[in-house]
Structure 1
């Protein structure tokens, strides 16, 4: 097992002052990784794990990750995003990456369900930082599994209290959580079509996030960000398509970039959107723009 830095050590021993950490937390809209930083493996330092990566990771995990009842955590992705899974493994210093299913070409990052030190790190990484109710519920069950282990209870300390409520107020355009959540459940899409009796092609430019019918999450994001709308009935999603709102979300993703292959889709999306706004899809440019839109939509 990796040796843990003593939980009671002052953060100055890890070459970062408490004041700097508090300022980072304030700038990132209340996400707090203070306790997690105190239990990093010995070969890690606080400066290695950037807070923007951690907020992105929390969002991505809430969209795509799983707290398993047997004590492990995992994320499954298409093989095209295997580099990201290795990046997560390297940055966090935990877990392994392996082929999940040859038929579906999927890969998985997963932690060891017998490594108590890693369980403590995971618990302190997520506790107090979970935004959605659905993921918080599975986190509670995961914690209850580990709290039956006396060594885990001893390492994590008697003052450890499992988060009781989700924190939708953490959704912000000033941290990486939303970028990670879109990486996990969202898509960028542009459709072009010629309609009879219409002089010029019509276009539909939008960003959507599927929520597995999590109406609560959509209501929270609409309340906190005041961007987008709720779409769908059977498959409810959060959609942004208005010009000014799209400008805001594009500016946000440029500041907190995607880490999956959706980053490729986003880059192509922005280029094609600019061409459409400049009327480049009219006349002879239509077929070329149509092909570009198909390139974007294949990431959907």
Structure 2
């Protein structure tokens, strides 16, 4: 069922709690200034940084332990460790650590690294859920900066009014973390489905689905069968084709295993548009290809 009006209104009210003012665009001036001083004059690109922010918002990466220890963590299946290495290579700080046989993490725990992470995300977060977590994280970072032999200046909390667009990498990063491409070829008929989904739990995180719907100008938002979960869905050949403009652009390039999923999804889109699913000699191969979209490790 499509989301009801009262809940839509409630999401709008929650979104309006973000502080007014500030920049609509992502602002990395303070981060770049301190990055040059502490790390390198070879700066990470704005496209990468906006992608990283989107990816991190999907992964919920700000960690404050019960003991008060701080860390910034992005976790991935070890089979996709390349995306963690790419993050470390671009930032030139943090570590990639394998934990167990299936999980790897990009971790920042040193004082300079945490300081730069706090600067990077300050004012540049989109989802209310992550903004609230970040505020607590920033308080702890400022406490940490005032202790020990190396002291760093306090970071003043910036306004959060940034909005992603189709001209930056935030949405690609968020889809790398949260998006799902799928095709189903049914066995007992000529039917098929081609779908792009993003699901979000909790009202604080769900308002972003309306922003994404507004960016793509297509798709609908539905109640999920799971409690307190909404999902944004684009389906059908005509509507899903409208997503190609962004994901085929430089800004929209996916960087995780989702890129391979997207490319297979797009190939199947072309084959379905060409009506290959109506040819009994081709239909089985389409079904096999569809099964690989979300099983791209081979």
Counterpart secondary structure, 1:181:
helix
Instruction: Return the alpha-carbon distance in structure 2 between the equivalents of residues 266 and 180 of structure 1.
Output: 13
Instruction: Return the alpha-carbon distance in structure 2 between the equivalents of residues 272 and 281 of structure 1.
Output: 10
Q: With the length of structure 1 as denominator, give the TM-score of the two structures.
A: 0.79
CA contact (8 A) 2:118 2:141 kept: no
More relative contact order in 1 or in 2 (CA 8 Å, sep 6+)?
2
Q: In the comparison of the two structures, how many residue pairs are matched?
A: 260
Relative distance call for 1:192 and 1:133 in structure 2 (3 A) is same
Instruction: Return the alpha-carbon distance in structure 1 between the equivalents of residues 62 and 283 of structure 2.
Output: 46
Mapped pair 1:226 → 2:217: yes
Instruction: Return the alpha-carbon distance in structure 2 between the equivalents of residues 150 and 295 of structure 1.
Output: 47
Q: With the length of structure 2 as denominator, give the TM-score of the two structures.
A: 0.80
Q: Which runs of 5+ in 2 are unaligned?
A: 1-22
Within a 5 Å distance, the mapping from 1:1-300 to structure 2 comes to 30-40=25-35, 44-46=40-42, 48-69=43-64, 70-102=69-101, 105-112=102-109, 115-151=110-146, 155-157=152-154, 160-165=155-160, 167=161, 170-195=163-188, 201-213=190-202, 214-233=205-224, 234=226, 235-255=229-249, 256-282=252-278, 283-298=280-295
What is the CA distance between 1:194 and its match in structure 2?
3.9
Q: Which runs of 5+ in 1 are unaligned?
A: 1-25
Instruction: Return the alpha-carbon distance in structure 2 between the equivalents of residues 232 and 215 of structure 1.
Output: 11
Instruction: Return the alpha-carbon distance in structure 1 between the equivalents of residues 214 and 241 of structure 2.
Output: 19
CA contact (8 A) 1:76 1:100 kept: no
What is the CA distance between 1:236 and its match in structure 2?
1.9
Instruction: Return the alpha-carbon distance in structure 1 between the equivalents of residues 215 and 272 of structure 2.
Output: 30
What is the CA distance between 1:116 and its match in structure 2?
2.3
Relative distance call for 1:243 and 1:98 in structure 2 (3 A) is same
